Structure 1
């Protein structure tokens, strides 16, 4: 949302104003790197990086002339400690000098996923281990582990090296984990080929919990027992408790994911000889970074420790489930292929991506996802954290936002102007200025004298309202929210645990609700209920901002790591899931405010793995520059790769004033973000589309209308994501996994499997753009239907009125063509079906429809059709997920009159004259229009009048 603006004197103290104004003055010109730690300034990261360098040198010295691959790792499996307990291999691993045994557990899941957990067998104090309860599906109780009978353990010793191999047979594939005893390492093999390798570089290091030495013996310089950063001191009451491990992807050259960073889609090296490598690891630590830099591994607002590796033969993944600060190094190498674990007879050079993961606290808990293909990886990941659920259908429309729409009259005027200029929209947003002095759940009565009337007026045309509700609570004894939370002890505590943690944010002096306290979560959720949230209606939805959490006077502009949460846990243990838990509490509040429940819509800035269950995300405070327009593509794609699908970037850029060309191009790209919102800083010029004048207004209106035309397609994609876990928008390699030239492609992307978008992101608005059409397939311009046959490369000249969007041959795409002011008003509109014929003369697709609001679809209240075209015949059949329930029958009746009003078949070369329609045993013939040319052939059946809930066929002849 917001960062660089002076707070208003009437709301806060003069002292606070001076301090915050000073802070903002420091950061408003650009991000100040010195406000955020480097690895060298983060003591545990530095210790592990230095340790890794030592291990590399020692391993290289040890390895000279050796015939046995070996590392210098000091960790080995204790003799006779290995056993197979059902689906879990258990072993004790110990450092050669420290002599503190670690319990390792390697568990197989039904899908072939292997879970590796480790911590001290007898920790001095408990380590935080509730991340699994908060992140994994069904609170971690329903993970589908493999049947013990399908797993076998084989132990063998060759050349004095003992290994234990656990094998799991699933279908035609054999998944195996091979653990070497000394030094300890793991290889995950799929069909006897190593794909994911642990500690083969010897970087594994586990800082066991220990008693603090006498003050004159404690090494404070190393940051183990106390760490200073600028003016802050982290007391570290548990001392050093971090751990790190190298994870290598054998046979791979590209890795993706681990958002959020403003870095390329294919992750860059972070050390080594590559001149383009970063000099810092990727950091996962949710932070409010003003005007973030591009092409940088610095931490941003969210953290998902999920990485995917891909090559032409397979896709694998790693999910490092830890909510503490985490750093990840990435390096690439080529090495001799190993004929077996014990032989170097092969001279073949194979690539590998080596990664080094380091977390500050908690337990080691990592999942290895074997694939072997992309769909398998996303199904496996969805089994762990749940897929993205179906959103409210209105949330896929256009969102109009600004910090801030001034008052009630302004809101209604903006809505009226959008309708006047025939620009559809679904949601208008209010930022912090709508409140009474930054007291959330309140209204400024002078600016918004009748919020209910405003919401109801918006609702008449199907529009919704979103209010921001941030996690910081203004300290004010007359403020009901603060007083109730204070009286009940619901706030995060200081390091001593006796006082409420206090910091500065937009209201001035503030406290933060402790979302690890279940009573506090329940209470805050209830505040979103209509009877608690004054002057709210069921037409009001919520925006969670600043929930990293952002603390203006805190270290790195966030909460002190030694602050205390419910259960005595330090903030360091839970930092990266703090924002997600607020997101969850808000969504729970909206879900339970009505009976029967309706799906919530909540936007959050901070996030973690699992946040996809609670709502949408955006990429934070970007800037109105062409470079930020370009950077939004890999940022959105990287989040989709990491399983967070409902994401977008602020259209137009949050900071600064885009010119008409940049803003137009941003809308033309923004309609292809899963979450589509325009937003702007309070100090920017107003930039609503009609203010730009012509021709820009028309270009932007056309783009927004295209989004609305394709809403049935988008909603069907989210249905697919909710079942399969597949990304909604996809890097090219996901759809074309064997085309190596596309593995680092980020200038073009796929929306589902059917549409390729090649955005124009250059300031030269009359430019030539190269388009690579992959695979042996037809591609059709989505507007002109001109066709191109892949694989080929073509150059297109584009001006500001042009966009490059292509439908993939073999696809069926369903649209709604009638212009309405909101998606709500489209729910009974007829459909148009586009068939883009593939090279083999066939095409297929799907249409999914439900009420867009309730959970009735869980009882079967939906229509889902499989659309198949072959032999010049289009057929519609119910999907296998359709069940004949009473809810289904009731919904079918409600939609009985909704029909297909047009069928467009693109790519048929033979002239056609009629269409024969068969529905419910009744046959009728309809004339069609056919237009054929070398690169432009289509036939149109006008009003076949078939109903979307029925089985039917349309044959062209």
Structure 2
């Protein structure tokens, strides 16, 4: 946390100063400098086709670097659901190289490969089903991966395969400098004379920090050419647009988890988390590249064109040279092995499912977590908490959880309470429980070095901390002062830490207390780039450089496991984390970190959250209003309106900002914020159902337009509006003082209905929409059905028995469909005891029906559907209800001719029953 910033100019200046003074540019990263010396072509790697061996699991072969004579071992796997895995390691490494554990949740079944053709120059392998073929070219080594006869991707076609083998320093001192850079291979002649020290082979320096590399240079790299693709996305987290840009003349995208306060916008600098998954999309195909490596990683992207005939296509005429776009993606990591998964799609949802099967689904959160959260660094004492809580009731604003930052602890010692400020924490929690609300508290990975702190003493006595290069407990500065850092890569430490969340271990905690993991990049105030030294040591002797991007992933895992154990495995946890990696979606939510109260940060939050969502982390959000600075009332209102339509919804502000409770900005603004939050709560059945679908089907909750409209090129770069599920389109207002915005409604043959006015519009057009401060454009897609609550109360728990209304938006075929998931909202009983309902609603042939969508579901509820609202309907003469007991009764309805709106009221259909409504003409 830094001091507050008073204006935009100061914030921008701070962001630039923070980056330039504290964080590296690529010129400071030795392994990147070494790899960037290579020019495309002339790869020294030669595939030894005679070493090719096939097994039931896949294929293996050796590569020889013809210049330094080091051999590599390649493993090729054709996995189920059209996934290709490629692993490259040294054939005979001096010692094991790090391979990322725990991220891959399921080892997918493999298909047997067979040889289709082979000669001295190449070999072609094919899967049993014949869908995929891999052409391996011997010299220089290259792989072309074909799917259904098409060539979407080539591996090492530019010749940037790079693998620094483990070696002893004495050998390098004898060898020429050229051998360290792969001998006579082409490289930039301007930098050929760099010394060994300049190349950072055995040590490198950044400011006063010297990184000594015991294992020497170990970096790896590989290039992929995506044929026909010019739109790529993903590799969060960066303050960038949705569509990734070329890095040819600029900095690459960096994946190295760092605490970058008030990060500069439109920057490729790494921030709090990393997901090394890149998605590529073109009409009729989506695919992904998942680079499984937890060390510092840089990604270069370049956009090119190529002759279509070069891909095996026949030109119609000799003069008719058809040119295709091509995107080249080059991955470079500091250490480890090459372990990459090519997700062949072909649809966006196929890619989401393929990735989810590897790294796990989005965790299904308790219902309260989807409500409105109120947080500040910090609420100062119990009375402050109670007054803020009461303020929501007085102002009739619903919320579900209040949060406490580090100042609730005793001297910033986690799992403790400041007994002066919080003398009765259990009583405070019971006060919140009585109102159906929760408490969330912070727990960071740094532990105060204090011989009177039992938590520290126990961890030290058990050797549970990260060690320095000399074998002593690694110490760094963070909020408590001198701190030690738990080694969460150690499963024994994770088990111990998880147990610390038990009610008998965490004094005065209750089962309505949930957790927030912050500063877990990890942040080290006096460390290089404000993080841990790379030569620090983890369990197994692995250096921190190998595991850095996994650190926050492991803490969130241990925390979530702790909350599950606390309830004996019954209750679903809620854990928010700032640092994350691939697979973090399994354990909870993520937010975008310390943003700024500026319009530009509101605008950039949209593509940032979309890139998180399409790379598996659906439960994501950004601090409402900006963490630092004081938002003007208009900005705060617009941020609430945007965040109410995003998965994680939390107001959070810095300790030196003015108080930001939603009733402090004047009566009119309070009214608008109240209405915005109440709309979120009315739509909670819709949100909850989307989270269930994300959990079981890996369907992103918020989606770029191209996901729902994959054939429409004009959607591919849109990132100022997005879809919520398949049913809602929102265009947040992210600029000051605007009275009109351009809203693009995609889809030839689609219908859209404005959610407030219910006015109908055709798709494939751009509307010039008038907006006032109390309006934001939201449209329901024709052909969808959305469940809502008929009444909003103070919390999600309080609304449990509130009846439902179904919004039916008809398409041109006069049909619509939708789902509703319902369970107890908090336990794992939906999973372990089938205590759930999944209902399918449909409207077709003038008949509305509600049926069971999953026969396993056995949940009982007294909740009912009270109303059905049909948009785009023709006025019927009569509507009859066909009840579960066989009775047929006429029901009351009204009809709005101007809006073509049919309102069927007075229904009392239990959610667990099958029933129908028929429209008669």
Q: What is the TM-score normalised by the length of structure 1?
A: 0.91
Out of 883, 895, 920, which is 2:885 matched to?
920
Q: Distance in 2 between matches of 1:398 and 1:169?
A: 51
The answer for the alignment partner of 1:92 in structure 2 is: 62
* Aligned residues of 1:769 and 1:797 also touching (Cα < 8 A): no
Does residue 181 in structure 1 map to residue 181 in structure 2?
no
Structure 2 SS opposite 1:82: strand
Q: Distance in 1 between matches of 2:122 and 2:693?
A: 42
- The alignment status of 1:233 with 2:204, answered yes or no, reads no
- Residues 882 and 921 of structure 1, relative CA distance in 2, 3 Å threshold: same
Report the secondary structure of 2:563's partner residue.
helix
- 2: CA distance between counterparts of 1:178 and 1:79? 12
Question: What residue is the counterpart of 2:620 in the other structure?
Answer: 647
Post-superposition shift, 1:943? Answer: 2.4
Write out aligned runs for 1:511-550 (5 A).
511-550=484-523
Any stretches of 5+ residues in structure 1 without a counterpart?
7-23, 60-71, 273-278
Q: Secondary structure at the match of 1:705?
A: helix
Pairing 1:906–2:879 present: no
Residue in structure 2 matched with residue 758 of structure 1 by the alignment: 731
Give the alignment partner of residue 203 of structure 1, picking from 152, 157, 160: 160
Residue 32 of structure 1 aligns to a residue whose secondary structure is: helix
- Where do residues 198-277 of structure 1 align in structure 2 (5 Å cutoff)? 198-213=155-170, 219-272=196-249
Q: Which residue of the other structure, out of 248, 272, 286, is the alignment partner of 2:257?
A: 286
Counterpart position of 2:8: none
Separation (CA, whole Å) in 2 of partners of 1:5 and 1:519: 40
Tell me what 1:35 maps to. Answer: 22
Inter-CA distance 341–123: structure 2 relative to 1 (3 Å threshold): farther
**Counterpart in the other structure of 2:180:** none
Are the equivalent residues in 1 in contact too, given 2:875–2:895 (CA < 8 A)? no
Give the structure 2 partner of residue 146 of structure 1.
110
Could you tell me whether the CA contact under 8 Å between 1:917 and 1:926 is conserved in 2? no
Aligned to 1:380: 354
C-alpha displacement of 1:854: 0.9
Give the SS at the match of 1:383: helix
Q: Is the 8 A contact 1:378 1:725 kept in 2?
A: yes
Q: C-alpha separation between the residues in 1 aligned to 2:282 and 2:596?
A: 34
2:906 paired residue number? 943
Alignment-derived partner of residue 18 in structure 1: none
Residue 406 in 1 paired to residue 380 in 2? yes
Q: C-alpha offsets along residues 888-931 of structure 1, whole Å, 9 cap, x if unaligned?
A: 44x32xx1x21101111111133444333332322222121111
Q: 1:733 is paired with a residue of what secondary structure?
A: helix
Alignment of 1:664-743 (within 5 A): 664-743=637-716
Deviations 1:259-314 (A, max 9, x none): 00001100011115xxxxxx100000000001101111100000000011000121
- Cα pair distance change 1:921/1:342, threshold 3 Å: closer
CA distance in 2, matches of 1:521, 1:241: 29
Partner of 1:494: 468
Question: 1:168 is matched with which residue: 115, 127, 144?
Answer: 127
Q: Deviations over 1:180-200 (max 9, x none)?
A: 111111111111211121100
Q: Find the aligned partners of 1:916 and 1:825 in 2 and give their Cα distance.
A: 30
Distance 1:338 1:183 in 2: 21
SS in 2 for 1:720: helix
Aligned to 1:63: none
Residue equivalent to 2:916: 953
Q: Give the conservation status (yes or no) of the 8 Å contact 2:740–2:768.
A: no
The separation in 2 between residues aligned to 1:117 and 1:902, in whole angstroms, is: 56
How far apart are residue 865 of structure 1 and its match?
A: 0.7
Equivalents in 2 of 1:654, 1:404: separation in Å? 12
Q: CA deviation at 1:775?
A: 2.8
* Residues 781 and 809 of structure 1, relative CA distance in 2, 3 Å threshold: same
Deviation, structure 1 residue 26 = 11
Partner of 1:356: 330
* Residues 796-811 of structure 1 aligned to structure 2 (within 5 Å): 796-811=769-784
Give the 3-state SS of the residue equivalent to 2:340 in structure 1: strand
The 1-side partners of 2:324 and 2:4 are apart by 52
> Any idea what the Cα deviations from partners look like across 1:144-201, whole Å, max 9, x if unmatched?
22343xx3222333xx6x222221254xx71112111111111111112111211001
* Distance across 2 between alignment mates of 1:340 and 1:789: 40
8 A Cα contact 1:544 1:602, kept in partner:
yes
Which residue number in structure 2 is paired with residue 66 of structure 1? none
Aligned 1:431-830 pairs, distance under 5 A: 431-496=405-470, 498-830=471-803
What does residue 101 of structure 1 align with? 71
User: Partners of 2:337 and 2:741 in 1: how far apart?
Assistant: 52
Distance 1:343 1:477, change over 3 A: farther
Q: 2:820 aligns with which of 843, 847, 857?
A: 847
Q: Tell me how far 1:860 sits from its aligned partner.
A: 1.2
- The whole-number CA distance in structure 2 between the counterparts of 1:43 and 1:773 is 46
SS at match of 2:913: coil
Counterpart check, 1:366 vs 2:340: yes
Equivalent residue of 1:692, what SS?
coil
Query: Which residue does the alignment assign to 2:367?
Result: 393
Name the structure 2 match of 1:327.
Answer: 298
Match of 1:117 among 57, 63, 87: 87
In structure 1, how many angstroms separate the alpha carbons of the residues matched to 2:574 and 2:414? 18
**Alpha-carbon offset, residue 940 of structure 1:** 1.1
Q: Distance between the aligned counterparts of 1:127 and 1:45, measured in 2? A: 19
Contact 1:328 1:355 in 2 (8 A): yes
Task: Please state if 1:155 is matched with 2:117.
Answer: yes
| In structure 2, distance between residues paired with 1:145 and 1:79 | 25
Deviation at 1:33, TM superposition (A): 2.1
Over the residues paired in the alignment, what is the CA RMSD in angstroms? 1.8
When normalised by structure 2's length, the TM-score is 0.95
Cα separation, 1, equivalents of 2:50 and 2:552: 44
Is 1:134 aligned to residue 108 of structure 2? no
Structure 2 runs not aligned, ≥5 long: 6-10, 178-195
Secondary structure (helix, strand or coil) at the match of 1:317 reads strand
Structure 2 counterpart SS, 1:635:
helix
User: What corresponds to 1:44 in structure 2?
Assistant: 31
Displacement after TM superposition at 1:34 (Å):
3.1
The SS at the match of 1:556 is helix
Alpha-carbon offset, residue 347 of structure 1: 2.5
Question: Partners of 2:795 and 2:239 in 1: how far apart?
Answer: 33
How far apart are residue 768 of structure 1 and its match?
3.8
Partner of 1:12: none
How many residues are paired up?
Answer: 891
SS at match of 1:307: strand
Give 1:685 deviation, angstroms. 0.4
> Bigger CA drift: 206-215 or 181-190?
206-215
Q: Distance in 2 between matches of 1:794 and 1:687?
A: 34
Residues 639, 36 of structure 1: CA spacing in aligned structure 2 closer, same or farther, 3 A cutoff? Answer: same
Change (3 A) 1:25 1:79: closer
Counterpart Cα distance in 2 of 1:522 and 1:146? 32
